[in-house]
Structure 1
Amino acid sequence: MASLKDLRNRIASVKSTQKITKAMQMVAAAKLRRAEEAAAAARPYADRMAAVLSNIAGAMEGDGPPLMVGTGRDDTHLLVVFTAERGLAGAFNASIVKLARQHQRRLESEGKTVKFLAVGKKAWDMMRRDLAQKVVHRTDFREVKSVGFDEADSLGETIIEMFGKGEFDVCTIFYSAFQNVITQVPTAQQIIPAVLPKDEAEAKETGAVASYEYEPEPAEILEALVPRNIKVQILHALLENAASEQGARMSAMDNATRNAGDMIDKLSVSYNRQRQAQITTELIEIISGAEAL
């Protein structure tokens, strides 16, 4: 049984931890608001960009640029995994990597070659033990206060350059779509080749059925628009991930704070019981000694 001193030290330690988790929860809550606003502002732009791309592709005669139509093969897949730079966010990072690994196993069971691009420190930390040989490139934004288009542009250029060298046929990004503080949904989205509406109903929903006249020709527009769309979708994923990370961390730290409170209550009860037992023992000894005299 722990001594009273050990119990006091443990209670003090848990209280210190509770203060830290509470502070982290408040910081995450403050960051979440800005991140959620940025993610919400990016969604309409990303959706509309995809709709415009679909509209132009429908008006074009013949094949489009390779980034849009692909190489005609799907032998080699590049999986771009977006995670956070830090932990203490519950299952946020693990759920994204888990989805990517499920995708990897399915592709490899079909005889495909899979490569990884790790974005974020935690992606590399979680994959380097088993998948280090498959990670062809990794990057992180630890020095960046808040991600923006500059980071998406740099990452997009890297992916486009790899595609131009023939290093992969299909590129899919994995990130966590933000819904609310409680719910963040791990998501897979193919960006190369571009995924266009599959039928007229879907095209109507995205606004891709309107008729336009284009100048210059649709093929020339697509040459500039498709790389831009890839970077926009990457930016969208980065912003969704940033909001999801803060939501997950806020929830995890709230749970940790409440668990610390429960532990403090249990330790306090144990401390009081042991102290009471010690006092009772001392009183019995005093009374016994007095009677002996």
Structure 2
Amino acid sequence: MASTKDFKVRIKSITSIKKITKAMKMVAASKLRQVQRNLDIIRPSFESINSVYNEYLSTTSTQTPPSTGHSQNHFILAISSDRGLCGGINTNTVKATKNSMRNILSSNSDNQVRLFTIGEKGKEVLAREHSKLLSTSVSELSKKTITFVSASLVAEELFQMKVGDTNVSFDFCHIIYSKFKSVISQVLVEETVLSTTQLNNYFYEFNQYELDSEENKSELLYDFYEFYLGLKLFSSLLENATSEQGARMNAMDSASRNAGEMIDKLTLIYNKARQASITRELIEIISCASAVSSSK
């Protein structure tokens, strides 16, 4: 059995870890309040724009499933965090990204898949295994306050993605992120956004709203599409950032509880070892005293 000194050192180190995890939980709770406030503000706006977009998609009577007879460009936008210690949301995002890639390639081996990562943790794993497919990555986006401007810049990167010196446009963009439900519940979501090429029929048949000029109808709807994509990315980034802080808060709370339980167990073992040591020393003293008295 380890000595009482070893137990004291372990208890001291675990107590220090517990202090750190409690501090990290409080920091995560503070950041969670800030980012959740921003998310609550943007959710109603995005839902209203998203409802218009869904009406936009449901207008055409000629809507058909995408043809699998020819190759298509699929962009996968994987949103993860820049820092760890936030549970399994980054692992889940990476797994979902890999599954999405397999499904796309299994449907048609001629399909082209490109990866676009936001967040250092997702990039680290995907770059090791799929470096040839990784076209662009963005890091430290959540270090500052996430804004619509930063989301719009990401959307512009999607439109201007290059492979070598060639511009590549997507047919389908798959956005993978964690959607915030509560501090203890974050749901992994994969949503697909069609390209302007795929939406051409919708542009021509969209008559749900009166427009100032039918001649500029396509131009107006293209502008709406670009605005929708920027707002969609903004909402996804906020959802993932809120999920990250909620998961980190929950993970640090669990770590603090586990550290407390371990300290209690080690303290009990330490007290038992200390009592055994004292008892052993008393027995040695009594034995020595008995030996001295018997020799006289």
TM-score normalised to the size of structure 1?
0.86
The secondary structure found in structure 2 opposite 1:86 is coil
Residues 210-234 of structure 1, C-alpha deviations (whole Å, 9 max, x = no match): 9431113331211211111111000
8 Å Cα contact 1:178/1:241 also seen in 2:
yes
Q: Which consecutive residues of structure 2, in runs of 5 or more, have no partner in the other structure?
A: 200-205
- Cross-structure match for 1:84: 81
- Cross-structure match for 2:185: 183
Task: Pick which of 216-225 and 8-17 moved more.
Answer: 216-225
Over 3 Å counting, the alpha-carbon distance change for 1:167 and 1:213 in structure 2 is closer
- Superposed, 1:80-229 pairs within 5 Å as 80-110=77-107, 111=109, 112-141=111-140, 144-162=143-161, 165-193=167-195, 211-217=208-214, 218-229=217-228
Alpha-carbon distance in 2 for matches of 1:150, 1:168: 22
Alpha-carbon distance in 2 for matches of 1:249, 1:143: 14
The secondary structure found in structure 1 opposite 2:87 is coil
- Cross-structure match for 1:206: none
Alpha-carbon distance in 1 for matches of 2:141, 2:5: 41
Q: How many residues align?
A: 275
Alpha-carbon distance in 2 for matches of 1:259, 1:185: 25
- Cross-structure match for 1:248: 247
Dislocated runs of 4+, deviation >6 Å: 57-63
Amino acid paired to 1:104: M
Give the Å deviation of 1:39: 1.5
8 Å Cα contact 1:172/1:189 also seen in 2:
yes
Give the Å deviation of 1:258: 0.2
Q: Which consecutive residues of structure 1, in runs of 5 or more, have no partner in the other structure?
A: 64-68, 197-208
- Cross-structure match for 1:47: 47
Question: Percent sequence identity over matched residues?
Answer: 37
Give the Å deviation of 1:167: 4.3
Amino acid paired to 2:178: S
Alpha-carbon distance in 1 for matches of 2:60, 2:218: 7
Give the Å deviation of 1:270: 1.1
8 Å Cα contact 2:142/2:241 also seen in 1:
no
Q: What's the RMSD between the two structures over aligned residues?
A: 2.7
Over 3 Å counting, the alpha-carbon distance change for 1:53 and 1:74 in structure 2 is farther
- Cross-structure match for 2:202: none
Residues 175-211 of structure 1, C-alpha deviations (whole Å, 9 max, x = no match): 1000000110010111233799xxxxxxxxxxxx994
Over 3 Å counting, the alpha-carbon distance change for 1:91 and 1:235 in structure 2 is same
Over 3 Å counting, the alpha-carbon distance change for 1:274 and 1:210 in structure 2 is farther
Task: Pick which of 136-145 and 116-125 moved more.
Answer: 136-145
Alpha-carbon distance in 2 for matches of 1:288, 1:56: 94
Give the Å deviation of 1:166: 3.0
TM-score normalised to the size of structure 2?
0.85
The secondary structure found in structure 2 opposite 1:179 is strand
The secondary structure found in structure 2 opposite 1:118 is strand
The secondary structure found in structure 2 opposite 1:188 is strand
The secondary structure found in structure 2 opposite 1:116 is strand
Alpha-carbon distance in 2 for matches of 1:83, 1:143: 10
The secondary structure found in structure 1 opposite 2:153 is helix
8 Å Cα contact 2:35/2:242 also seen in 1:
yes
Alpha-carbon distance in 2 for matches of 1:57, 1:290: 96
8 Å Cα contact 2:21/2:252 also seen in 1:
yes
The secondary structure found in structure 2 opposite 1:132 is coil
Please identify the structure whose Cα radius of gyration is greater.
2
- Cross-structure match for 1:259: 258
- Superposed, 1:250-289 pairs within 5 Å as 250-289=249-288
Residues 30-50 of structure 1, C-alpha deviations (whole Å, 9 max, x = no match): 111121121122222122112
Alpha-carbon distance in 2 for matches of 1:193, 1:136: 18
- Cross-structure match for 1:66: none
Alpha-carbon distance in 2 for matches of 1:142, 1:282: 62
Alpha-carbon distance in 2 for matches of 1:94, 1:40: 26
8 Å Cα contact 2:77/2:116 also seen in 1:
yes
